[in-house]
């Protein structure tokens, strides 16, 4: 059975435009249908779910933006290209705000129309190839906010559990963006101090001349600008837990006072003489090599030993890449819960790109990339082209997104009118006495194709995913997928499929039966 033609719906109240676009799109062997109003177009979408919709912005009755919202509510994956005579900022913003795939200016250039249709259909295929969304964990399984199933992260979780029952000081180390504060908050949350305050202080963000006042407070008149008494963080946190982030950047003078708090459980406000008792658990973190800065005499050795009773080291993301799919799942679930995106998943090709990236910014960088990509994604899945260029790499792991602006790189348009009034287009002359001759073939636009991922990248991703799912033997799952894909590609022809798979037809038939596949 021949594969179904890609389907395109054109919605415009101008019959000449419907006719012209139908001729151009039909030249590529697309199945084109038309509707003369927004209401008729919505009905057509409900009935046939076309692959791509071309929709005019200004029409009598229901306008294009309103129709777009209705269409997207029917099918959130529906790719809609808006048509307009005026490319104003408001038009562009409104179009993209309500989920349009792109928009195109009138009068139309056939090359741009076809280039945009091809790009939309490619995106449609990629979105559907991404498959249905199956979250690896439910939201409640991510309560801690620290995500990962790797051996390194399991050790982190175990250590957190071991230190929560006591008031021992903990030093959390690791590169920036690895989630050190999340570890501190998890320790606090599960400790007997969970009902008391938790205060986080970024030591690197507070100037040296203010850090003591922030931590210990000050008395009125103790320095210029001290117009009243101030209660410090340690005093405010009495009975609770204080988290000293980036403690490796703390001045030596302040380190001495921190040591006194740990040894004696007491503080003095700046400019004061009263000794104040405080009961505070101290958790600290740094992205520096503490042993090295102790040797360099930039950090007190006695304070180092007081803080480093138990150490938890957060591994960099590049050393636990098998956790990336689960972190992505967590980020997307969080964004959906906050109603910031409709995106539910990442296409396999895009995930392979994420898995091969080294992530110098660690989890924080990954979260940023997923958020950015989800915002610009046009369906319910992040595709390779949605990822930032610096993540795809210099070669570009995806073909370009051919927007209306990018389409200007296609062959020069055959402009018949420099200006066109709203809702008009310079149409092709329609013959009246006899049917129109077929439109001449239009050469495909010169658009560079996607760079291919290496076989090793693909295998790394597939293996990590199958290992994570763990629902059936890896080899059996791979065999089922590969045989199924080859059969689909060969339209069920067992002779050609067996040749491609390198087995006899009899063997292939046995494997099909054993794996429960349908031809």
| Domain end marker among 290, 314, 338 | 314
Residue spans of alpha helices (H) in 402-504? 455-469, 474-489, 494-501
Question: How many angstroms separate the CA atoms of 316 and 150, rounded?
Answer: 12
CATH number for 253: 3.40.50.300
Q: Quick check: 248 and 293 in contact, CB under 8 A? A: yes
Tokens of 471: 């629902």
Q: Of all residues in the chain, what percent are helix, strand and coil, respectively (each to 5)?
A: 45, 10, 40
**What is the structure's pLDDT at 456?**
61
Coil/strand/helix, residue 148 = coil
**What is the structure's pLDDT at 435?**
43
Same domain membership, residue 217 and residue 244: yes
Digit-coded pLDDT (tens) for 35-75: 999 999 999 999 989 999 999 988 888 988 899 999 988 98
Q: Quick check: 172 and 180 in contact, CB under 8 A? A: yes
Digit-coded pLDDT (tens) for 274-296: 999 999 999 999 999 989 999 99
Coil/strand/helix, residue 371 = helix
**What is the structure's pLDDT at 138?**
56
Burial class of 453 by CB neighbour count within 10 A (0 to 12, 13 to 18, 19+): buried
In a domain, 39, yes or no: yes
**Nearest to residue 81, comparing CAs of 54, 108, 63?**
54
In a domain, 433, yes or no: no
Start-to-end CA distance of the chain, whole Å, equals 12
**pLDDT class of 255 with cuts at 50, 70, 90:** very high
Same domain membership, residue 170 and residue 25: no
Could you please report the per-residue DSSP string of 150-175? SHHHHHHHHHHHHHTTS---EEEE--
CATH number for 488: 1.10.10
Biggest CA–CA distance in the chain, Å, is: 105
Mean pLDDT taken over the chain: 81
Instruction: Average the pLDDT over 250-254 and give the result.
Output: 92
Q: Say how far residue 139 (Cα) sits from the centre of its chain.
A: 17
Question: Residue 460: is its pLDDT beyond 90?
Answer: no
Domain interval for residue 278? 151-314
Same domain membership, residue 123 and residue 155: no
Same domain membership, residue 327 and residue 304: no
Q: How many CB atoms lie within 10 A of CB 143?
A: 9
Tokens of 30: 């697309």
Looking up tokens 């495909």 gives 444
Question: How many angstroms separate the CA atoms of 94 and 65, rounded?
Answer: 8
Digit-coded pLDDT (tens) for 163-208: 998 999 999 999 999 999 999 999 999 999 999 999 999 999 998 8
**What is the structure's pLDDT at 216?**
94
Question: Residue 440: is its pLDDT beyond 50?
Answer: no
In a domain, 301, yes or no: yes
Phi, psi of 225 (to 5 degrees): 95, -10
Helix (H) or strand (E) holding 220: none
Same domain membership, residue 182 and residue 297: yes
**Nearest to residue 7, comparing CAs of 88, 71, 78, 99?**
78
Instruction: Average the pLDDT over 12-25 and give the result.
Output: 91
Coil/strand/helix, residue 189 = helix
């Amino acid at each position: 059975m021949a594969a179904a033609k890609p389907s395109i719906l054109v919605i415009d109240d101008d019959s000449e435009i419907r006719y012209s676009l139908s001729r151009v799109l039909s030249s590529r062997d697309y199945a084109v249908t038309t509707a003369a109003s927004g209401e008729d177009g919505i009905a057509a979408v409900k009935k046939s779910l076309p692959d791509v919709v071309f929709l005019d912005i200004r029409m009598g009755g229901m306008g294009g933006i309103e129709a777009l919202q209705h269409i997207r509510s029917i099918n959130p994956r529906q790719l809609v290209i808006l048509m307009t005579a005026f490319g104003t900022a408001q038009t562009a913003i409104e179009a993209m705000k309500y989920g349009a795939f792109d928009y195109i200016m009138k009068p139309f250039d056939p090359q741009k129309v076809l280039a945009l249709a091809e790009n939309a259909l490619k995106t449609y295929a990629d979105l559907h190839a991404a498959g249905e969304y199956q979250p690896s964990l439910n939201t409640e399984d991510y309560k801690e906010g620290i995500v990962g199933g790797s051996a390194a992260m399991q050790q982190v979780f175990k250590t957190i559990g071991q230190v929560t029952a006591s008031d021992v000081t903990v030093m959390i180390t690791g590169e920036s963006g690895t989630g050190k504060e999340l570890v501190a908050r998890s320790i606090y949350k599960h400790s007997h101090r969970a009902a008391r305050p938790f205060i986080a202080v970024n030591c690197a963000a507070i100037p040296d001349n203010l850090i003591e006042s922030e931590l210990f407070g000050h008395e009125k008149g103790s320095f210029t600008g001290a117009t009243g008494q101030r209660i410090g963080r340690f005093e405010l946190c009495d009975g609770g837990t204080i988290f000293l982030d980036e403690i490796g950047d703390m001045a030596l003078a302040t380190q001495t006072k921190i040591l006194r708090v740990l040894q004696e459980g007491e503080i003095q406000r700046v400019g004061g003489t009263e000794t104040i008792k405080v009961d505070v658990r101290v958790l600290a973190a740094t992205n520096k090599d503490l042993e090295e800065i102790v040797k360099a005499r930039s950090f007190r050795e006695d304070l180092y030993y007081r803080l480093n009773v138990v150490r938890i080291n957060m591994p960099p993301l590049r050393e636990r890449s098998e956790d990336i799919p689960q972190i992505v799942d967590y980020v997307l679930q969080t964004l959906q819960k906050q109603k910031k995106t409709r995106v539910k998943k990442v296409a396999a090709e895009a995930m392979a790109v994420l898995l091969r990236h080294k992530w110098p910014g660690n989890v924080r960088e990954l979260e940023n990339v997923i958020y950015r990509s989800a915002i610009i994604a046009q369906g319910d899945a992040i595709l390779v082209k949605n990822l930032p260029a610096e993540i795809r790499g210099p070669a570009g792991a995806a073909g370009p997104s051919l927007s209306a602006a990018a389409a200007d790189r296609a062959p020069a348009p055959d402009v018949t009118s420099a200006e066109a009034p709203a809702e008009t287009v310079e149409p092709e002359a329609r013959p009246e006495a006899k049917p129109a001759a077929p439109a001449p073939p239009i050469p495909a636009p010169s658009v560079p194709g996607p760079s291919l991922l290496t076989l090793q990248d693909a295998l790394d991703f597939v293996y990590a995913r199958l290992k994570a799912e763990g629902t059936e033997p890896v080899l059996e799952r791979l065999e089922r997928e590969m045989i199924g894909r080859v059969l689909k590609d060969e339209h069920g022809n067992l002779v050609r499929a067996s040749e491609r798979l390198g087995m006899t037809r009899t063997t292939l038939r046995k494997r099909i039966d054993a794996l429960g596949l349908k031809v």
